[in-house]
Chains A and B, each alone.
Chain A
């Protein structure tokens, strides 16, 4: 699988570290009542077959965090965008 890093160009998957789903939102509350939301965020992740958007670190290259859209079934990579250039989720 080849990933088109916006800084480095197209590089093989061996240079990257995968973190996981980039579409989930981190809970903001630290209250005990938000435990379920944290449980969901930290542990209960989907493992979809098909389109997937995830955080990827170019650890063996420019060390930038990227958001990569790819297909877990066909290994087709749709896009790779540097998180630094994205708007923060509100």
Chain B
């Protein structure tokens, strides 16, 4: 069955905002993406870390104390959930979040400048290196942010907030010019 992103009709491709020179940022919706939330059972922090490290073709992102988002673009949501349920039995609780969250990628020389308007987190590379995740708020919306490159981040929000968050994000990006791809 074909899954439709909650930003399908909102994130229209093209060039927007300031139109002089190269766009300051590029925005794209990461879809479809299988996402599972994994929370360690009492006393199983270490066991969970080890089990997660042995998984293949997945991204494991910190999402709170003893909590992680496991993501995969290669696996179907059912396959990812079933695999985690089996491999993490008695170690962690697993919840499918594939339909619950939407992930937006922001990249480009002005990515940090755009995000700095919304979050109090220090996004300087030394403080927030590639691979690091954090939980914060932007425009009153809970955001899970991960640095995926020097000038590249992914932002994950509850799908119910995706439209208003997109509106806020594009407003902040407009002064630098942005490309939706």
Number of B interface residues in the complex (CB < 8 A) = 8
Chain A nearest CB, measured from B40 CB (Å): 11
B174 within 8 A of A: no
Give the interface size bracket for A toward B: 10 to 19
Query: Cβ of A27 < 8 Å from any Cβ of B?
Result: no
> What are the residues of chain A within 8 A of B134 when measuring CB–CB?
8, 61
Interface bits A53-87 vs B (CB < 8 Å: 1, else 0): 00000001111100000000000000000101000
How near does chain B come to A80, taking the closest CB pair, in angstroms? 13
Main secondary structure of the interface of B (DSSP, over half): strand
A8 and B145 alpha carbons, distance in the complex (Å):
12
A15 CB-CB contact with B under 8 Å: yes
Contact A15 B137, beta carbon cutoff 8 Å: yes
Q: Which residues of B contact A7 (CB under 8 A)?
A: 64-65
Interface pair A84/B137, CB less than 8 Å apart: no
Taken residue by residue from 29 to 68, chain B's Cβ proximity to chain A (1 for < 8 Å, 0 otherwise) reads as 0000000000000000000000000000000000011000
The residue on A at minimum CB distance from B128 is: A9
The chain A residues found within 8 Å of chain B, CB to CB, are: 7-8, 11-12, 14-15, 60-64, 82, 84
Q: List 16 A-B contacts (CB under 8 A).
A: A7-B64, A8-B135, A11-B120, A14-B120, A14-B137, A15-B120, A15-B136, A15-B137, A60-B137, A61-B134, A61-B136, A62-B135, A63-B135, A64-B64, A64-B65, A82-B65
